[in-house]
Structure 1
């Protein structure tokens, strides 16, 4: 273990947030430049976000771009909710690009279509080098932000993309996949995780692929929290007590998620959180109260075919939400955790767990027929 720790510390020069020695213990967020409390909340929001940009947990941009014959995200693209100018205006520093597919695409087609989505993301990022940069780790995400680029992370992908094969999971990881949603397949269903599903999760831990539990059944969430050695995330989940959407989490699961140092990324959608910026802030208040300030983050869910609350129409609008939180007396350190710090902690935790797991576990050769019959 000493050798492992030496290796981990040897990589920390890429950014001040990359100390992996104890990734599951929340650290105090770096202070944003102190702003005058008498300053208008929107102006203060811009000051805080300039120091602690948004790590946005979910973007449907890849699928939206498939339907455009031509686009320029660096110049600006009115056909979508997300482009580089609007992300800069909204102080977005990192963005998870979804590889999810329409429900009509399943089986073997899901594997190939996911690979095409992944290839599209890489092609889009390569075509916009002044604004975007691919990243896989917390350090690379921080480096991209320091270089004035918006970090693009691959995922979540749907569990159907694996085709029940751990070999495909490893292949997707080697291509940069960072998030996999555990729902919609027979080994992660309403009944919870099967034995093969648990083996998939262990292999994800070994690789450093985060488990996304948004849309998973309550039983799957509970079992994943028990099995996973790395933090888990819910990329599009708000508080079910405030809005009874099936992807939102009840209070007891929010408490369990917080106890496990997982992350609930509250979506900016009218369907899940409500029609106004105040409704979104209500959900953030609730998640912070129950799960804790270290377990709440943001998920724009732009370009995913959903309506957005008033004043949060596109990726430029994050300052309006932060201004509302300032009016509710959120502290600058808690906002810094919400926008950037908590996602960095989870990325570090996944990498730390993977490095430790690879010391004691070989790649799994399990097949679904062996474990689930």
Structure 2
């Protein structure tokens, strides 16, 4: 049975302290010293790097958000199969970074609304499908947790479609169902007229219920804490937070833990050390089963020098090993938690009783 399929692949197939400044003497200038530039802490130990790479062979990173699809709109030619210096992602660096799966964001510029947003989303979806088809030795489209595992076991990086912006629904549940039929597996709620600072409207509740029925992951990135809380009340399947711009409140992390969802921590901190701090905080608060990774590469967001592109994930894993993270927690962080959330969403969709959803969303004030 698909639900019982194991995610572990066949291994044969898998891919000195510096002295502080001396106090000034009476002959030295009384001018204050220049502030020191912020620097990365020392690199992880060589043994930790080696072990990190070993772990990523069988438990590669399932990256919660890549901006590659959007970045490709802005360049006239590219070659991600052999290497592309204009980007932070290409297939050679995905392999070096131990990336087994990526969610490819289909967000479109926020100034696009209504039919224009729908059209732009469909064009971007077509671009991704075409690119994946042109790179069969490196990429494989995945529409389920099983297909994600199959791609990894064949040495390919699984490409999952999403998130789509909720504003690109065109206020139609039929559009949501069409996106799902085309392979979209996550959607963000933020920025829509059916989410408010005080939470979801009744139309928003209908969207969440329909996403659960279809097996589309609810992505709370960018939502207010109150919208997060209310969504976690109504959601019947685990939700994700793939790229929230701020730290998620601890109270929401605790609710996320009860929901079985996952907070994906972006590699956009100022330093490698700070990124590891954020991951550790989410793990300690929400539990090791509710934390995952988001590279946020090719999104236009700055990264720490040690985490400059998709090849750098082993450095972050090595840092966590140096901090004493158990390898079971690492395995859950990189692959296990994302796979489990996908499986749970699929199970919820199969278990949902058939019902006739509304063809058009209710008004904002309904």
TM-score in terms of structure 1 length = 0.86
How many aligned positions are there? 334
Q: Distance in 2 between matches of 1:121 and 1:348?
A: 23
**Cα deviation digits, residues 160-180 of structure 1 (max 9, x gap):** 110110000000000000000
Q: Distance in 1 between matches of 2:364 and 2:52?
A: 51
Who is 1:100 aligned against?
A: 107
Who is 1:320 aligned against?
A: 315
How far 1:104 sits from its partner (Å)?
Answer: 1.5
1:75 aligns with 2:82: yes
Q: Distance in 2 between matches of 1:121 and 1:303?
A: 14
SS of the aligned residue for 2:148 comes to helix
- Which segment drifts farther, 171-180 or 62-71? 62-71
SS of the aligned residue for 2:155 comes to coil
Q: How does 1:108-119 map to 2 (within 5 A)?
A: 108-119=115-126
1:365 aligns with 2:358: yes
Once superposed, which parts of structure 1, at least 4 consecutive aligned residues long, lie more than 3 Å away?
369-373
- Alignment root-mean-square deviation, CA: 1.9
State whether residues 214 and 247 of structure 1, in contact with CA within 8 Å, keep that contact through their aligned partners in structure 2.
no
Q: Which one has the largest radius of gyration?
A: 2
Q: Distance in 2 between matches of 1:356 and 1:80?
A: 41
- Which of 57, 65, 70 in structure 2 is aligned with 1:63? 70
SS of the aligned residue for 1:40 comes to helix
State whether residues 138 and 348 of structure 1, in contact with CA within 8 Å, keep that contact through their aligned partners in structure 2.
yes
Unaligned runs of 5+ residues in structure 2 are 12-44
SS of the aligned residue for 2:146 comes to helix
Who is 1:264 aligned against?
A: 263
Who is 1:293 aligned against?
A: 288
- Which segment drifts farther, 292-301 or 189-198? 189-198
How far 1:63 sits from its partner (Å)?
Answer: 0.8
- Which of 172, 177, 193 in structure 1 is aligned with 2:179? 172
State whether residues 185 and 216 of structure 2, in contact with CA within 8 Å, keep that contact through their aligned partners in structure 1.
yes
SS of the aligned residue for 1:321 comes to helix
How far 1:323 sits from its partner (Å)?
Answer: 0.6
Q: Distance in 1 between matches of 2:189 and 2:323?
A: 35
1:231 aligns with 2:254: no
How far 1:12 sits from its partner (Å)?
Answer: 5.0
How far 1:310 sits from its partner (Å)?
Answer: 2.3
Relative to structure 1, is the Cα distance of residues 117 and 205 closer, same or farther in structure 2, using a 3 angstrom cutoff?
A: same
Q: Distance in 2 between matches of 1:98 and 1:182?
A: 14
Relative to structure 1, is the Cα distance of residues 129 and 259 closer, same or farther in structure 2, using a 3 angstrom cutoff?
A: same
Q: Distance in 1 between matches of 2:293 and 2:363?
A: 39
**Cα deviation digits, residues 241-282 of structure 1 (max 9, x gap):** xxxxx532111111111121110000011xxxx311000000
Q: Distance in 1 between matches of 2:60 and 2:255?
A: 27
How far 1:362 sits from its partner (Å)?
Answer: 2.0
Q: How does 1:32-43 map to 2 (within 5 A)?
A: 40-43=47-50
TM-score in terms of structure 2 length = 0.88
- Which of 39, 52, 55 in structure 1 is aligned with 2:59? 52
Who is 1:333 aligned against?
A: 328
Unaligned runs of 5+ residues in structure 1 are 1-8, 18-28, 33-37, 238-245
How far 1:367 sits from its partner (Å)?
Answer: 2.9
- Which of 281, 299, 308 in structure 1 is aligned with 2:303? 308
How far 1:368 sits from its partner (Å)?
Answer: 2.7
How far 1:101 sits from its partner (Å)?
Answer: 1.2
Relative to structure 1, is the Cα distance of residues 108 and 49 closer, same or farther in structure 2, using a 3 angstrom cutoff?
A: same
Who is 1:280 aligned against?
A: 275
